[in-house]
Amino acid sequence: MATAIVAGVELQLDLGPTAIPESTRDGIPTFWLHSSEIRESVRKLRHEVPHPFRMLYDLTAVDERARSHKNGRPTGEFTVVYHLFSYERNAYIRLKVPLEGDKLTLPSIVDIYPVANWYEREVWDMFGITFDGHPHLFRILMPRSWEGHPLRKDHPARATEMGPFRLSDAKLDAEQEALRFHPEEWGWSEAGKTRIFSS
């Protein structure tokens, strides 16, 4: 535990004075950051600190709107959570960003951690949180025709909250079209039957 405290103090100095530490049961150094600070903090942890955090282990979100006990946490309707891992330290760091209001937006970190491409798409798909600068921010788990974001607390979750499912011919055609692969969305062009990468 003492080692975790020392590591936490060291990392707080790296992140700067506005990072708010949080005590956690798992002992992972955890810090709350403002949305305007997350991108630079992640970049610094990846490239500048000794024994850097080279791996984005996870990126997820939590709908906090029904939470009644904040326990001193920063206020926010949603929390975006970043878990980074350092091979040299054999240790994690957790970064949390509170978001509220109509525009739930964070800067993308895809250029810092390429694996964030899929994580950010999942968070947008499930929670409706936008990542500015993401190259292909569209659904990754739900069909493209899906309405709403399933992990929001106000999204219908049970059959009793939704009407019977109907798949008309028109809707079937629309669903099939939504599944069609469009090479141009991925930076590809199609010439005849040969797909050529366009730089």
Q: What is the pLDDT of residues 148-177, one digit of tens each?
A: 899 999 888 776 777 777 788 888 888 888
Looking at the 3D structure of the chain, how many domains does it have? Answer: 2
Instruction: Assess whether 143 and 185 both reside in one domain.
Output: no
Instruction: Assess whether 71 and 132 both reside in one domain.
Output: yes
Give the contacts of 81 (CB within 8 A, at least 6 positions apart). Answer: 58, 59, 60, 61, 62, 94, 95, 96
How would residue 57 be classed by pLDDT, with cut points 50, 70 and 90?
very high
- Tell me the sheet residues that pair with 196: 189
Assigned token pair, 141: 């788990």
Instruction: Assess whether 65 and 120 both reside in one domain.
Output: yes
Distances (CA, A) of 125 to 109, 119, 194: 17, 10, 31
Dihedral angle of Cα 107, 113, 116, 118, to the nearest 10 degrees: 140
Nearest to 83 by CA among 28, 122, 120, 44: 28
How would residue 26 be classed by pLDDT, with cut points 50, 70 and 90?
very high
Instruction: Assess whether 70 and 92 both reside in one domain.
Output: yes
Q: Which domain holds residue 188?
A: 166-199
Mean pLDDT to the nearest integer, 177-186: 78
Q: Please report, for the domain that includes residue 16, its CATH number.
A: 3.30.460.80
The answer, as to whether pTM is greater than 0.85, is: no
Residue 123 and residue 140: Cα distance in Å, rounded?
9
Instruction: Assess whether 110 and 195 both reside in one domain.
Output: no
40-44, 79-83, 188-192: the lowest-pLDDT one: 188-192
Instruction: Assess whether 178 and 161 both reside in one domain.
Output: no
Task: Please give the pLDDT value at position 151.
Answer: 93
Instruction: Assess whether 67 and 156 both reside in one domain.
Output: yes
The answer on pLDDT for 5 being more than 80 is no
Instruction: Assess whether 170 and 90 both reside in one domain.
Output: no
Mean pLDDT to the nearest integer, 82-91: 96
Instruction: Assess whether 142 and 61 both reside in one domain.
Output: yes
CA angle 118, 124, 126 (to 5 degrees): 100
Instruction: Assess whether 105 and 181 both reside in one domain.
Output: no
